[in-house]
Amino acid sequence: AALFKQDRDKLGDILIAPVAAAAEKNRTKTDYNKLGIVQAQFGRIKEAEDSFGKAVRIDPKYASALANLGNVSFLRSDYSKAIESYRAALSIIGPRGTSANSASLSMLSNIVKAYSAMGKAELAKSYVDQAIKLDPVQGNRIMASMADGSGLARAADAGASMRTVDYLDEGY
């Protein structure tokens, strides 16, 4: 396991370096957001949080970075803070066509996962219902991914799919 972690860290260094160089050169919100995503994917949560924070400082209404800050909170099991970030992103995304629907569904899914992790099935269900109204097929997939036969499952009990969050790399 230790050898795998070393190899993963080396691979992370290799893959993060050019993205970090681009972010430092261009200093754009999208480059910082992309950097944060790659950092988070390699478990560098504090670095990812810093990168998403830079993107939000450039544009406080940059929904992608707000959502991804929520993901950092989710990964830290700070579900209330994650939900706050997801709701902020969702309010900015609004109805803007098919790609916005996809981003909205991602945020709704993340909110459902956070409420499920907190053991708040009724609140989670209310966001599943919103997802179903937006896209019945995807909304039902969100519900099915969390159903355990007796209602919505807690994240800790539902397996790996519940511990994964959807990152936004689009320009919302």
Mean of pLDDT values over 51-77: 97
pLDDT at 161 exceeding the cut of 50:
no
Burial code of 116-130, b = ≥16 C-beta within 10 A, e = fewer? Answer: bbbebbebbbebbeb
- Here the tokens at position 97 are 């066509």
**Mean pLDDT for the chain overall:** 86
pLDDT at 36 exceeding the cut of 60:
yes
Strand partners, 152: 147
Kindly report, residue by residue over 136-155, the tens digit of the pLDDT: 999 999 988 776 533 444 33
pLDDT at 86 exceeding the cut of 90:
yes
- From 125, 128, 54, 134, select the one nearest 93 (Cα to Cα): 134
